[in-house]
């Protein structure tokens, strides 16, 4: 493989990216940055869809009871009502007739009679008058056997929960006073889980949704079960357009990062690797505030944004660990900057030796807007291949199997493969794979999009060869005869033969292939020769092409993921070698620096 000495000075582009408005994080009255994370919604990125009813359950030993109210524009919680500490489980349900019959962190709810043991009706009797405080309303509600409602800013006392207007009217006639009422299509009831006992009714119209903050005891670390997962922070329940419930976790930034780091990276990985993950996750989240604003939250809890599972489940081997929490605490507030902008800190499991220029994967402008998302040669990751179960990898098809796979996706139906054509980038990754059919037609597959290489061919990454046929990355497939090695930017060497490297201890080693240069900032790059074309890369296109045909197609590859940004297994390897988290971040996002977040 040909090599080229890089200059030992790190050059920063003088480009300042504009600061997106979505970066304006909400800061509450305690100075905490607060995020809204979607747990259940109509978004296809949430595993849990909109709900007819949603349960909360105190995590024993981490707070007791509940406070009801709403979150203001700065995500400060405004309390309107509360339970005592004896109430462990509550459910929020639509103010429609609702049937259910289970307790715990989940229940099965229905707005039609499904034979469940418990039903909460949507018709009520309103006691005359309004109240200035929850305490006054609660006193009358307890005397009358009713519940407190907060309707568009006013406290009321209501009685009963009837499933029909006729039933409610009969009760009203017997009582002799009051008014028959319901709520708007945005109203919700809070009930004791598994019962028809309404604790609080809330209707703030379209503009204001119910918020719940668990705990009335002042516990230091409050955790609450929702859908079999424990979360810190509070919750909101919104009926968008009068529909079912969208459930959102309202959580402080650092608690959110604690709920991401061990799920996106191994929970017991080396500390500096976890600190890298925490810093990238924090930066990534702050760049994506309001990503799902139409649904009332900033980020979802899936890998569409970042995997977020709060404090975990009952399992002691899944979720945050002492070291993952330590990583978040020791990097609190630290983010990755490019000039005056938060960097786009995308990451994936492993790169197999080199990441890719984002222009070749997503069409990203890596010349002007995102120069730190160019490809990086990674000499570290392969040192931990023994713990990476998905890299290296091999996928084998007979020609008939591959044709069947492609036909099932409506490519080349009824025809046979003539040959495959692979275009490699200068980083050695496949940036286009063209299938040539026996009728002369072709299908092109790229690293991303609806016709992605990984999806179409069932591969872990875009770093692979087929049937062992390779092209030297970086030479454009040409037979360049004028390769030389630049030294100090002015002189050159035609070969490394006869040259030796002297280590810090005085030992000498012959210079051969697979050497890397380390800049003054710690950036590591592969040594490559200057070619006669003088090309330095841009988008890294032009690594060369390969034609493959045969009765069998053996894909030998390495890496797992989209190939952009930070390699998680590479971070593991660098941490093992003594690199610090900021050095790791700045290696995978060249030209960036790690520093404190400032709005």
What pLDDT is recorded for position 341? 94
What pLDDT is recorded for position 541? 55
Of 86, 68, 105, the residue nearest 237 (C-alpha): 68
Give the separation between CA 130 and CA 150, rounded to whole angstroms. 10
pLDDT digits (tens, 9 = 90+) for 325-366: 999 999 999 999 999 999 999 999 999 999 999 999 999 999
pLDDT digits (tens, 9 = 90+) for 565-582: 999 999 999 999 999 999
- The number of residues making up the chain comes to 599
CB atoms within 10 A of CB 477: 14
Q: Please, which residues bridge with residue 245 across strands?
A: 51, 239
Of 111, 569, 23, the residue nearest 337 (C-alpha): 23
Give the separation between CA 262 and CA 311, rounded to whole angstroms. 10
Query: What are the tokens at 94?
Result: 């639509």
Query: What are the tokens at 321?
Result: 């660990």
What pLDDT is recorded for position 25? 75
What pLDDT is recorded for position 579? 98
Which regions of the chain are under pLDDT 50? 1-23, 473-500, 502-510, 513-514, 518-525, 528-538, 540
Q: Which whole-number Å values give the CA distances from 150 to 78, 137, 248, in the listed order?
A: 13, 10, 21
pLDDT digits (tens, 9 = 90+) for 199-246: 999 999 999 999 999 999 999 999 999 999 999 999 999 999 999 999
- CA 385 from chain centre, in angstroms, equals 25
What pLDDT is recorded for position 562? 95
Q: pTM for the full model?
A: 0.84
Query: What are the tokens at 370?
Result: 């995102």
The answer to whether 521 and 12 have CB atoms below 8 angstroms apart is no
Helix (H) or strand (E) holding 493, with range, is strand 491-493
What pLDDT is recorded for position 543? 80
What pLDDT is recorded for position 115? 85
């Amino acid at each position: 493989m040909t090599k080229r000495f890089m200059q030992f000075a790190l050059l920063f582009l003088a480009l300042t990216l504009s600061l997106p408005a979505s970066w304006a994080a909400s800061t509450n009255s305690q100075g905490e940055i607060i995020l809204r994370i979607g747990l259940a919604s109509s978004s296809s990125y949430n595993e849990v869809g909109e709900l007819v009813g949603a349960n909360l359950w105190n995590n024993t030993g981490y707070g007791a009871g509940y406070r009801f109210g709403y979150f203001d524009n700065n995500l400060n919680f405004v309390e309107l009502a509360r339970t005592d500490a004896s109430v462990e489980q509550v459910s929020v349900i639509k103010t429609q007739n609702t049937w259910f019959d289970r307790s715990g962190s989940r229940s099965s709810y229905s707005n039609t009679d499904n034979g469940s043991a418990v039903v909460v009706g949507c018709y009520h009797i309103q006691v005359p008058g309004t109240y200035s405080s929850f305490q006054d309303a609660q006193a009358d509600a307890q005397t009358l056997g009713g519940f407190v409602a907060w309707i568009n800013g006013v406290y009321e006392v209501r009685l009963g929960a009837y499933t029909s207007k006729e039933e409610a009217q009969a009760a009203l006639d017997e009582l002799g006073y009051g008014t028959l009422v319901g709520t708007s299509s945005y109203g919700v009831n809070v009930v004791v889980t598994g019962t028809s006992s309404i604790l609080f009714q809330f209707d703030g119209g379209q503009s204001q949704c119910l918020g719940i903050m668990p705990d009335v005891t002042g516990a230091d670390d409050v955790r609450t079960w929702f859908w079999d997962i424990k979360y810190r922070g509070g919750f909101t329940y919104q009926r968008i357009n009068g529909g079912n419930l969208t459930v959102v976790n309202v959580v402080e930034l650092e608690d959110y990062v604690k709920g991401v780091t061990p799920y996106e990276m191994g929970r017991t990985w080396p500390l500096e690797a976890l600190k890298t993950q925490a810093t990238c996750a924090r930066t990534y989240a702050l760049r994506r505030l309001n990503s799902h604003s139409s649904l009332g939250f900033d980020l979802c809890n899936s890998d569409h944004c970042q995997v977020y599972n709060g404090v975990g489940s009952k399992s002691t081997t899944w979720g945050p660990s002492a070291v993952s929490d330590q990583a978040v605490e020791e990097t609190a507030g630290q983010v990755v900057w490019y000039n005056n902008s938060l960097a786009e800190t995308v990451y994936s499991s492993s790169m197999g030796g080199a990441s890719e220029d984002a222009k070749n994967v997503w069409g990203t402008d890596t010349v002007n807007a995102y120069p730190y998302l160019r490809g990086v040669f990674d000499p570290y990751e392969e040192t931990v291949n023994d713990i990476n179960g998905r890299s290296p990898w091999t996928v084998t098809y007979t020609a008939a199997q591959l044709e069947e796979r492609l036909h099932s996706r409506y490519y080349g139906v009824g025809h046979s493969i003539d040959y495959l054509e692979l275009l490699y980038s200068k980083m050695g990754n496949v940036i286009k794979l063209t299938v040539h059919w026996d009728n002369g037609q072709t299908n092109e597959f790229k690293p991303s999009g609806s016709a992605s290489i990984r999806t179409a061919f069932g591969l872990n990454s875009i770093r692979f060869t087929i049937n062992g046929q390779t092209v030297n990355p970086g030479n454009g497939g040409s037979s360049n005869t004028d390769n030389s090695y630049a030294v100090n930017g002015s002189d050159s060497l035609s070969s490394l033969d006869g040259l030796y490297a002297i280590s810090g201890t005085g030992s000498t080693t012959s210079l051969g292939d697979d050497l890397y240069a380390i800049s003054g900032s710690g950036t590591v790059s592969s040594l490559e020769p200057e070619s006669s074309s003088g090309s330095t890369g841009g988008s890294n296109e032009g690594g060369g092409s390969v034609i493959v045909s045969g009765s069998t197609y053996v894909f030998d590859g390495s890496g797992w993921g989209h190939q952009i940004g930070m390699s998680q297994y590479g971070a593991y390897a660098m941490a093992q070698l003594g690199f610090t988290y900021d050095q790791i971040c700045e290696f995978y996002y060249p030209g960036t620096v790690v520093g404190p977040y400032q709005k």
